[in-house]
Structure 1
Amino acid sequence: MPLFDHIPLPIYIFQDNSFKYVNRQLVDLTGFPGPELLQMNVWDLVHPEDRPLLMERATQRMTGNNIPPSYEFRALNRYGEVLHLRGYFSLITFAQRPAILGQLLDITRERNLLEELRRAEARLRDIFENVNDIIYLHDLEGRFLALNPALTRYTGFLPDELAGREISSFLHPQVKHLLGQYLKEITEKGEARGLMRGLTKEGREIFWEYHSVLFKGKNPFVRGIARDVTEQVHMGRKLKDYMRLLEEKNRELVRINEQLLAAKEKLEKMARTDFLTGLGNRLAFQEALEKESSRSMRCHQPCSLLMIDVTNFKIINDNLGHPAGDRALKRIAKLIQQSCRRYDLCFRIGGDEFAVILPCTGEEGAREVADRLRKRIAGEAITPGFPLPVCLSIGVATLGQGREISDHEELIRLADTRMYQEKCRQKAAAS
């Protein structure tokens, strides 16, 4: 089934607890040679904790039961490393008997990043729940949004008793008029610090030293930290040491918040970026093509697609090794990007396959870009000293000219078919 070798996802056919077919992407994913995979028990590759569920679902699927077509599970590669995978499964007929066709998507990097994000959130939650000082959140109108359990230790109020109520309900009657001044300072300066006089649930006078910071955005809010300094006020002690501690704690909260935001941005970017070349990945390609196709049909402007396959790349990998293959892919990606226009969109969609979206470009213009790419790659020493040249097989398809293509999925299929046809012509010419 050579066609499956050109699909960027790992694919296999499962029957009788063994693989009947595996493509080269599955070989790369697991680290096991193809012949060894075909001799293995499939379940040896599945994480022991996930094995019973997958065996049960495979049995039910083979007997025709209605089983979810896609789910996540863990697997083990040749080196014992845990892989997080999303599988897409369908029942087929192979050798006149039921079999399962499986496609896998490696989501290990995304899972690890999510775990990193969860740990950071857990650290922040631990600080919020266990710090000795009161941490509070309120809106710009002075209503509490959240308070930590330290509130109860000092005031007798439960956090839920004050959530949604105005800050003034917590203040001493003689200073309630200062709330407006405090909110104005927060709004204008972005932060406020000082001494506040309040009351406990039993009506006892209490003094707080606070530091509040405004967090701007779509839904702005104020986050701050407060420390009971009643004893120091009554005794006339200096508050410098406590201010230093308050500032340190607030900086820690700000730092953790920045780490969470940075981790989220990093996760979103990595989910759409090919880690080797820096180009957009298949997910980014699908999103961009759907967006540009919709714009093309809405504005009655053409949109072209180039599907690109690197000829002789497998031979480079087999003879020079994966590091050399990676260097070649990075070089090819850079040349493709340099040869395209600034508004063209370049992607690596898997293995040795690339794609270029050409907005507002008809078929003639797209073929000019394709010719320019072929010449640029042919004129470069991608793998110096290697006897076989590196060249590109490019399939061109255009949306918005004629009636041959109706949507972005048909655009992909046509460009893919033309790329494969050109690759076959190149092989025939070389033989």
Structure 2
Amino acid sequence: MALATIGLLCILSSFFVNQVSRNQTNDAEIIDIAARQRLLTVQMVQYLEDIRDGRSINPNGRATSYLLQRARADWLIAHRQLQQLAQTQNLSELNAVVNETGTIFGALDQIARRAIASESISEAAYGEARLIQKEYLNKQTQVIRYLLGLHETKISRLNQIQTFCSLLIVLVVIAEGVWVFRPLVRGLQDKFDRESDQREELEAIRRELGDQNQSLHHKQRELSHALRRAEDMSKLSRYAAARFEELFAGLPIAAFTFDESGDVFEWNREAETLFGIKAPQVVGRNLTEFRVLPNAGTQYLEIVKRVFSGEHIYDLEQSIRRSDNQIRTAVCNAFPLTDPDGNITGGVCSLQDVTEARKEALRIQESESLFRVSTESLQSGIVFMDRHLKITQCNPRGAEILGVPLDHIVGESMNHQLVDCICEDGSPLVPESGPLLVAFRTRRPVQDFIYGIRRDDGRITWISVNASPVQLPGASEPIGAVASFTDITNIRIQQRRLLDEMQKTNEQSLVLEVQKMELEAANARLEDLATTDGLTGLKNHRSFQEFLEREFALAARNNRRLSIILLDVDHFKQFNDDFGHQAGDKVLKGVADALLAVARTSDFVGRYGGEEFVIVLPETDTEGAMEAAERFRKIIEDQKWPYRTVTASFGVSTLSPMIDDKAELVALADAALYTAKRLGRNQCFHASELRQTA
């Protein structure tokens, strides 16, 4: 009996040990899958960063988009395995958290799929992916902590079972002294040893997961710092954009930006000055709509086409007729605007007003021509230098300009300072930087090189030098260099004076422009006062006559429909007698507001005189006019008046071939109004029914 009991206990203890061992194996597998998911998530965000930065091929030669797709697939497989293990072991809490991580990963998966399809990702999408990663890692940490806690519980249970079985076996062996159970005990001890090894392996996995968790926390801190830096960069970017708009508006030259269709979307202050058109009149409209542009803007559309083909346009001369009919000459430069990916998103065009510069150049040419005519002996200076850097020739005029005797020049080395030379900024000009040596050394022409010669008396003679290397056909090295130079001291003085005059002219033009704007604003205010009724704010009788004159002529010429409505406030005189003229004025203002609330934007609403109002209805026939009159009548009647109900009578007339002029149209409406009042007031009557009523 004792032996049977011992055997049964051994079998039961072996069964429990096997069950716990199997659960431990499953726990280790779940932890391994969860850790693999964390690693795959971090890898996916890293691949998205590579795609954002243009690293389409990784160092191992694999396509980044392929690696991203593979990481997605591995994660989804691991997720399904994790769900199956959670359901198999009836771990409802783990299953709920796993489903939550799947939902979070779904948002990251959508970003990854779009990046794989387009092989690109925006900065905003990448930032969103980093935030999703952070949320996912936090949730995954809960999964791992839950598994580690569950694992520790099972290990504790396994230790209790092992302790119980060991004590039980020892007691049985001592009690019975039966040695036949040695193999069974040894087998159980071997199983316990294996379980101990598994516990050590699980403990190693736990330590590894702890290290990974610390690494992920470190990466999360780095991500937080990166997000803060990105937010700071975003603020700096918005500030830079605002500063760019300010700088663009304040550029010293005219400039505007445009899209591919030629629509203008930026127009700076200098462009307003050059073209004589304010920015609100230009922005959002097409270049072809402005007559001030060359060839009604078609030439600018050609510039738009060239810019959007990637071309840079330089020094294209344009003739501009301003809005005040002034003709201005400008030099145009245009180039495309691109996004970070190199796509052309727009274009910018700058125009430098060279009208005065052209005039100045013409005046300078005239001065030079007069100077040459008056001094026939005046010629440019000529100096020739050989390959040994010695001056071999110099004409008398050159010696005169340099202020050095001719025999002191010929044979002299260019490395020797013949005269005291200074640059335009006043700094010394060393011989090595002179135009003749530069042209010889670089084998390229040097044009319009200007420097000054300081005389013994302190005067400075400014000269302009053009130098070129002298090279025989087929030779690889120049045999020397030649320079021509002229005295431009007087020209520089004239240029300085002309610039001063231009500045004064511009200041006077600015004052005149301000005065002109003030005068236009005053005229607009006077015009508004002359055409508006002071009490109701509606257009007055004069405005009505002018509007009807235009609409009547247009309708008669083009066979269009036209109707007018005359209305009179019922018993208005009695209302004034009963409640006073101030109350009557409020009634007139209320009627005006009611009419404006119902009228169309194309309708004319005005005060005809006294308590009478007039409404002109373009493109409206008899039926439409009567419907409109009824709407006006109804809104007046339904108003909440302070003293008593206010109503009005309406007379309507419509243009027909029998009506010859606008006065007849008004007279018919007046007659219809009289009939409406005679028939009981607060009603609408059309002039076409006058004969039937009569």
> Does TM, scored on the shorter chain, surpass 0.5?
no
Specify which structure has the bigger relative contact order, considering alpha-carbon pairs within 8 angstroms and separated by 6 or more residues. Answer: 1
Q: TM-score, normalised by structure 2?
A: 0.27
Q: Which has the higher strand share?
A: 1
